[in-house]
Amino acid sequence: MSGACEDTKVSTTKILVADEISKSGIELLKGEGYEVDVKTGMKEDELSSVIGGYDVLIVRSATKATGKVIRASKLKVIGRAGIGIDNIDVPAATERGILVMNAPSGNVVSTAELTIGLIFTLARRIAEADASMRRGEWKRKELKGVQVSGKTLGIVGLGRVGAEVAKRASVLGMTVVAYDPLVSPEVGVKLHVRLVSLERLLQESDFVSIHTPLTTQTESLIGRSELSKMKKSAMLVNCARGGVVNEDALFDALSQKVIAGAALDVYMQEPPKESKLVSLPNIVLTPHLGATTIEAQEEVGSEIAEQIIAYLKRSDIRNAINLPAKLDPELMPYMPLAEKLGTMICQLGQCSAGRVEVSCKGELAQKDIRIISASVITGMLKPISEEFNVNYINAFDLAKSRGIEVVSSTSDEAGQYKNLIRVVLHANGGSISVAGTLFSDKGPRMVEINDSMVDIEPEGNFILIGHEDRPGMIGSVGTILGDNDVNIASMEVARRQPRGPAMMILHIDEGLTPEVLEKVRAIPSLKSATYIRL
């Protein structure tokens, strides 16, 4: 998976930790020999001025990895010690070929527990009672609450945290409904959750808990109209992301008793400045404490450190945010082959392309092959691009910017092969094709070039010669190479019929100078000669 990252020398890899993470995470990174600097509290300008000296940036929620910061960098990875990535300009990172990864598992339980805690705080009016006691009051009758047992909890977003909240709520005797268009009914059954529309959830629930990321689709997902659909006795909890709940609409709903109460751990602006919400008695506010437990901080710090080490050392990618498709373990062995096919066809086409077709045949047809197509484009663009870091993170964007159309297709039929990847390049009024597969005993092989059957290990230096199959051709080529001290490691000739069009494939031990290549091209009856380096 050479397209994933460049060869990284451990001794020179520099990592900037811009927010506090656990000491165990930092020690893991240092233990691998990486140079780790911890500099917290930096604003955009300061971070932009220093980021150019680092290969990796680790943040939590405080530091903003803005487009300005990213464009000033030569980063390979941005790691988020936690789940949310709204403080990272992911499109800017993708454009630069920077992998963005998060650590979604470490703070799941802590956030779920805070959610349940806030539900109890609202139900039993714990915060109000505490404040009252500190004022020397004794308001037992005035602070009457409600039980959570027997109530309906509506969960908006049934991801990792939402699922953990659902498990705990069920144990508390609550009925759980959920809205998540990306979750299958089978998941709902497994969690003992009834999947419903958002409107129905709002109408039925006594408590509504938000567990969805902040995206263009979810911004102000809970606004004035949605709040008006809730029960007057209902209470809202948001431990996900500020902005999913419209704070102006929430202020009006609480002050006008449209709903009974709310609890927020996240805000549209953090920390919230001069928020009207602090004046309300029926809201509980906490300072983004979802992941702020000893256990969660240890977990996310170690988790992101382990992921970064795995990527830098082995190109092993976990919890990537900006890959074109989720990494499938069954597809990963085919990605280096796909990249080599892209490199091969780029050189055959003399790095000119208008349209590229990537077809996956056989068992691969059942997979999401976007990552294979991205690997092909990476192989094509990497040798010719002036971009800092071409890889399958930004491959599609770079192809689009160059006017290259990428078309992917699948087919169950792979002929004599279990799986086959075929790449066709259309340029200058013609087309070129290459195909490859993986053999269990031989590994990756190129098996077709322009519909001619071949068997090439895609590694090393090659000369591909198009010619008429006639006596003396092999000798003529061999003589020129021998006279110029070019050693032939192996050779094969692909042809459809004797004395017809043929392709000679020479695997040579060293590189080929342009002068020697021109001598080969001057051989009579030779149609083409292309030097390929893989």
* pLDDT per position as a tens digit, 140-168: 999 999 999 999 999 999 888 999 999 99
- Amino acid residing at 66: T
**Helix, coil or strand: residue 13:** coil
pLDDT at site 351: 61
Instruction: List the CATH number of the domain containing 252.
Output: 3.40.50.720
**Residue 1 included in any domain:** no
Check residues 328 and 266 and name the one with the higher pLDDT: 266
- Amino acid residing at 229: K
pLDDT at site 443: 92
Neighbouring-strand partners of residue 209: 155, 237
The arithmetic mean of pLDDT across residues 326-355, rounded, is: 85
Instruction: List the CATH number of the domain containing 335.
Output: 3.30.1330.90
The arithmetic mean of pLDDT across residues 169-186, rounded, is: 89
The answer to whether the CB of 352 falls within 8 A of the CB of 427 is yes
| 228 and 355, same domain (yes or no) | no
The arithmetic mean of pLDDT across residues 39-47, rounded, is: 95
The answer to whether the CB of 433 falls within 8 A of the CB of 450 is yes
Tally of structural domains, the chain: 4
pLDDT at site 389: 65
| 131 and 267, same domain (yes or no) | yes
Catalytic residue list: 241, 270, 288
**Residue 5 included in any domain:** no
| 81 and 16, same domain (yes or no) | yes
| 58 and 200, same domain (yes or no) | no
- Amino acid residing at 141: K
Structure-block tokens of residue 106: 């470490």
| 279 and 168, same domain (yes or no) | yes
| 335 and 242, same domain (yes or no) | no
pLDDT in tens, 486-507: 999 988 888 777 878 888 899 9
Chain centroid to CA 92: how far? Answer: 13
| 382 and 440, same domain (yes or no) | yes
**Residue 319 included in any domain:** no
Instruction: List the CATH number of the domain containing 517.
Output: 3.30.70.260
| 278 and 301, same domain (yes or no) | no
pLDDT at site 48: 96
What does the alpha-carbon distance between residue 481 and residue 510 come to, in Å, rounded to a whole number? 11
pLDDT at site 372: 94
Q: Which domain holds residue 231?
A: 108-285
**Residue 320 included in any domain:** no
Report the share of the chain in percent with pLDDT over 90.
60
| 250 and 129, same domain (yes or no) | yes
**Residue 371 included in any domain:** yes
Strand extents, DSSP E, 152-234: 152-156, 175-179, 194-195, 207-210
Compute the CA torsion angle 495, 498, 502, 503 (nearest 10 deg): 60
Structure-block tokens of residue 209: 């808990």
**Residue 290 included in any domain:** no
| 262 and 148, same domain (yes or no) | yes
> In the sheet that 501-508 helps form, which strands lie side by side, from edge to edge?
488-495, 501-508, 461-468, 526-533
pLDDT of residue 6 exceeding 50:
no
**Residue 281 included in any domain:** yes
Q: What is the CA radius of gyration of the chain?
A: 30
| 263 and 279, same domain (yes or no) | yes
**Residue 472 included in any domain:** yes
pLDDT of residue 441 exceeding 80:
yes
pLDDT in tens, 235-283: 999 999 999 999 999 999 999 999 999 999 999 988 898 899 999 999 9
Question: Which range is least confidently modeled, 65-74, 225-234, 401-410, 414-423?
Answer: 401-410
Q: How many CB atoms lie within 10 A of CB 157?
A: 24
pLDDT of residue 18 exceeding 90:
yes
What does the alpha-carbon distance between residue 459 and residue 26 come to, in Å, rounded to a whole number? 38
pLDDT at site 527: 86
pLDDT of residue 88 exceeding 70:
yes
Q: Exposure of 129 by Cβ count < 10 A (0-12 exposed, 13-18 middle, 19+ buried)? A: middle
Q: Which residues contact 29 (CB under 8 A, 6 or more apart)?
A: 15, 36, 305, 308, 309
Question: Which range is least confidently modeled, 73-77, 321-325, 447-451?
Answer: 321-325
| 51 and 84, same domain (yes or no) | yes
